[in-house]
Amino acid sequence: MSIRIGTRGSKLALLQTGTVAKKLSDLGIETEQVIIHTAGDTTTQVPLHEIGGQGVFVRALDDAILAGEIDCAVHSMKDIPVYRPSGLITAAILKRDSAADFIAYRGSLGAVKILGTSSTRRRAQILRHDPSVTVKDLRGNVDTRIRKMSGGEYDAIILAEAGLARMGIRIQGERLPPEKFVPSPNQGTVAVVCRADPSLREVLSALDHPQTRTDVMIERAVMEQLGGGCYTPLGIYCRAGHLIAEVLSLDGTRAERIEMDVKTIEEARTQGQQLRARTQGLIDEAYKQLGIAGDPV
């Protein structure tokens, strides 16, 4: 059996896909990697929310699976929207790496005046921590963002610690504690999505890590209740059943937070519903300020 694996063409995406291919090879399964170009990779001049949010990195790969061009695709799981096309399943979720953010900077951390990020969550959390910082939009792959900082366009940038580790990048900076800077739901996790084919699912499920799956599905249950395509700054993090979730205003001056142990997906949904009720005003406000039309659900 040979499996065609779809992937984005970035260095990080290829490394993650290579990890999956190696695990399958160890099981005696041949693979072929197919690079698929996405709108998120080719349109880097505007903020992410203006071209459809994180889902733009996934859509082209979903279409390729459904069209039969590839058998499965490897994703950073935080890029996968809550609402999925029929005919697709998440067959495997690999053991989670660090979920934390990492702030990289030139000079000293105390001298940071201009910080680059395309994430509304990271923007809000940094402004809450230090309102004096000027946050400017920054898109592009990891190498591009580091190069722009090194060239003096930014004093600091924020990256996912897991991505730096996977790429073997060592850079001056500090890990941001996830208990305070709550990460995006599913950050640090790699997932394999395939068509709903029982034989294919059986093969790929050998790569699944049960504890990681439980934690990230709890995060996704909360995210679903807060809005599948929500552009409000929000962080959701679950580790071994301990859940932290927060929703912030875009400027970081206001926030609502929950923290508790959660045992079931249904319990996570209930907590998400309660947090949604408390933060509806923040969510509506964010959509209005970002110029996003429609009901943010």
Q: How big is the chain by its Cα radius of gyration, in Å?
A: 19
Q: Is 79 among the catalytic positions?
A: yes
Phi, psi dihedral angles at 32 (to 5 degrees): -130, 130
Q: Any alpha helices (H) in the chain, and if so which ranges?
A: 11-26, 39-42, 59-66, 120-129, 142-150, 161-167, 198-204, 210-226, 265-290
Q: Which of 222, 203, 185 is nearest to 91 (CA)?
A: 203
- Residue 119 near residue 158 (C-beta atoms within 8 A): yes
DSSP secondary structure of 43-102? --SS-GGGGTGGGGGTHHHHHHHHTTS-SEEEEEGGGS-SS--TTEEEEEEPPP----EE
CA distances from 220 to 112, 122, 161, 185, 240 (A): 33, 19, 20, 7, 15
Rounded Cα distance, 20 and 23, in Å:
5
Rounded Cα distance, 124 and 232, in Å:
10
H or E stretch covering 7: strand 2-7
Rounded Cα distance, 227 and 264, in Å:
20
- Residue 43 near residue 60 (C-beta atoms within 8 A): no
- Residue 278 near residue 256 (C-beta atoms within 8 A): yes
Catalytic residue among 62, 71, 79, 101: 79
- Alpha carbon 185 to chain centroid, angstroms: 6
Active-site amino acid positions = 79
